[in-house]
Amino acid sequence: MLSHRHRCIFIHIRKSAGTSIKHLFADASKDFDDGVLDPHWPPTQPPVSDYYRFTVVRNPWDRFVSGWKYLTSTRRLSLHDVLRNLPQQRPLYNVLAPQAPLNVRWSYARIGSRRRFQHTRYRLLAPIPGLNPRRPKADGHDYRHLTLPLCDQLLDAQGQWVVHKVVPLEDLANGLSEVSARTGIDISHIPHANRKRKGDDYRQYFDEEAQQLFARHFADDIERLGYRFDLGPGVPPVTTP
C-alpha cells in the first residue's frame, strides 16, 4: 500500500496485522490505497525512493503457527510435516488458460471485483512506473503466508533494510505513533482485525526437532529481527532493527 499524498509506503507482511493496518489507514486517509508496488520494483527506486517506508513484523514462531493454522492446505497437517514440506512458489497461471485450476480463477475473480473501482481510478490518476494496479494473482498465496522469510521481503541485495521503520506487532501502538508523526496521518484508534484466539502459545507446538527445522529455514529472521523463542507470544523483541 502507498499514499502519494502522505508520501509513504506500507510493506505488508502476511499474518502480521496487515489487515488491521489497512483498515486503520483506510479510515484515516481515504486515498492511502493508491495501488501496490510491483513485486519486482524495489521501493528504494524512483519515483518513490524518498517516501517514508514502514512495515509491521511479528515473532516469527508465532507468525508461523498462525499461518499454519490459517491455511487450508496445512491446518490438518502436523507442524513437523509442514516444516519438512513448506509450500513452494509456483509459476502464475494464465487464469483464462484451460489448465488453470478453478480455485485460482475464483480467487482472481473475487480480487478483481473487490478492487475494480480503485484500480480504474489508479489507471486514470496515478500512472507511475513501477506500480502495479492489480494485486498479485492467487497462486503463490500459501508460499507468501508461510514459507517466504520476512527478511527476504525487507532487505535489499546488500542486506540493508528497505524500510525506515520496523514496527513490532507486540508494540504496535508505540511503533505506529512514530509512523503517524512522520506521515501526518492522524491515528486515534488501532483496530486489530483477524485477532487469533487467546491462549494459543506457539511454544507448545515446537519440540527440539521442530525448532531445528524452523531455524534452518528462518535463520535470518531470527537473527535480524531480535526475537527469541522463549519470549512467548505478545512480548516485543529484545532488540529492534
Query: Is residue 109 included in any domain, yes or no?
Result: no
Query: Is residue 51 included in any domain, yes or no?
Result: yes
192 pLDDT higher than 80: no
Query: Is residue 81 included in any domain, yes or no?
Result: yes
Per the structure, the complete domain to which residue 44 belongs is given by: 2-90+140-231
**What are 10-35's pLDDT values in tens digits?**
888 888 777 777 777 665 555 454 44
Query: Is residue 187 included in any domain, yes or no?
Result: yes
SS3 182: helix
Which of the two residues, 61 and 86, has the higher pLDDT score?
61
Query: Is residue 97 included in any domain, yes or no?
Result: no
Query: Is residue 62 included in any domain, yes or no?
Result: yes
Helix pair angle (208-217, 60-70), 10° resolution? 100
What is the number of domains present in the chain? 1
Q: Are strands 52-57 and 8-11 parallel, antiparallel or unpaired?
A: parallel
Query: Is residue 108 included in any domain, yes or no?
Result: no
Query: Is residue 114 included in any domain, yes or no?
Result: no
**What are 121-159's pLDDT values in tens digits?**
344 334 444 444 444 444 467 877 888 888 888 888 888
SS3 8: strand
pTM over 0.75: no
CB 49 within 8 A of CB 131: no
CB 167 within 8 A of CB 56: yes
84 pLDDT higher than 60: yes
**CATH number, domain at 26?**
3.40.50
